[in-house]
Amino acid sequence: MSTETPETSDVSRPVKFAYWVPNVSGGLVISKIEQRTDWSLDYNVKLARLAENSGFEYALSQVRYMASYGAEFQHESTTFSFALLQATQRLKVIAAIHPGLWHPGVLAKLIATQDQLSNGRTAVNVVSGWFKGEFTALGEPWLEHDERYRRSEEFIRVLRGSWTEDHFSFSGDFYRIHGYNLKPKPLQHPHPEIFQGGTSRGARDMAARVSDWYFCNGNTAEAIKAQVDDIQGKAAPLGRRPKIGMNAFIIARDTEEEAKKVLADIVKYADKEAVNAFGDAVKQAGKASPEGQGNWASSTFEDLVQYNDGFRPNLVGTPEQIARRILDYKAVGVDLILGGFLHYLEEVEYFGKRMLPLVRELETQKSVAA
């Protein structure tokens, strides 16, 4: 049985911040523009310590299994996440994983161990999969769109059951568990947080039923509100309220003109071949949903230069402009901003010193006014 409980919506709760871990080469944009960002462990340890001291509560390690779309090299996400956990004190690190390439019981054991050894700071992001080439290269079957989400839902139910029950059993279409007795359990109660992403009907319905967090690709406030309202409307009768995270590429500079110039240059120097190849792969995955509206189904070339439509929220400008836009997203139900940056060390530090204090000041003002 799940021990999940609903969370009351509270607009006074501070918005949280996470950052994409650059554990793959090429940075967070598919562009040949200079990026003073490195995918090595030494760089990432320095970044993680800086991030947790700059107000970031979460970091998300990406999952890539082979060279693709400007990401020639990649470190495995769960291993890399644990290295960052060992190097930090407060930061929660989310490891992205693919059902179909992991067995949920085995992952449950790995994450339970990491949670014990990190004093309760692990989380997972269950990625249903968009890159067919990784599955076929490894000789694993590539399921149709909604079947991938059905498998992910069973995967999450097995994770949660393994972490919260003794002698756990489960009988599904993809997984069968017979009296699995995982000990020790994770330190976190009721269990480590479970994230997922998506845009399609299947993704949103799965989030409403089983996930703790739902990651949206970047979009306008109006479009994000529609997703939030849909998910929460489906979750409420089940006594649940998944939290909402949104991807955004953040370009904060002292002047709006400077920030816009950086964005223009990122797009100007885009790796067109890699962007188009990425677009072909992800649009196939998005349009494969029954309604044809999965992630990236309507993304333009410019949107695709940043992997998860990170330019769409328009967090580009001065710290004051960006802080106000973040509050606009919080107002429509976003609980967490998942940020990507061009030059990580400089920009994460700038975020902590210049932007986060403005966000907290605006939150206080709105709370007092309410």
Q: How far apart are the first and last CA of the chain?
A: 39
Q: DSSP 3-state assignment of 303?
A: helix
Res. 5: pLDDT tops 50: no
pLDDT tens column, 329-359: 999 999 999 999 999 999 999 999 999 999 9
For position 7, what pLDDT does the model report?
44
Average pLDDT of the chain to the nearest whole number: 92
Q: Report the percent of the chain where pLDDT is more than 90.
A: 81
What integer pLDDT is reported at residue 6 of this predicted model?
41
CB 286: neighbour CB atoms within 10 A?
22
120-140 average pLDDT score: 92
pLDDT band at 83 (very low <50, low <70, confident <90, very high): very high
Q: Which residues contact 34 (CB under 8 A, 6 or more apart)?
A: none
Summarised one tens digit per residue, pLDDT across range 281-320 is: 776 655 555 656 555 567 888 999 998 899 999 999 999 9
Type of residue numbered 118: S
Average pLDDT over residues 213-220: 96
Long-range contacts of 262-270 (CB under 8 A, 24+ apart): 262/316, 262/342, 263/311, 263/316, 265/33, 266/29, 266/31, 266/33, 266/305, 266/306, 266/342, 267/31, 267/302, 267/305, 268/33, 269/31, 269/32, 269/33, 270/29, 270/30, 270/31, 270/32, 270/301, 270/305
Cis omega before residue 319 (within 30°)? no
Which residues lie closer than 8 Å to 3 by C-beta, 6 or more apart? Answer: 164, 189, 190, 191
Q: For 11-66, how does the pLDDT look when each residue is reduced to its tens digit (9 = 90+)? A: 679 999 999 999 999 999 999 999 999 999 999 999 999 999 999 999 999 998 88
pTM of the model: 0.92
The pLDDT of 194-199, averaged and rounded, is 93
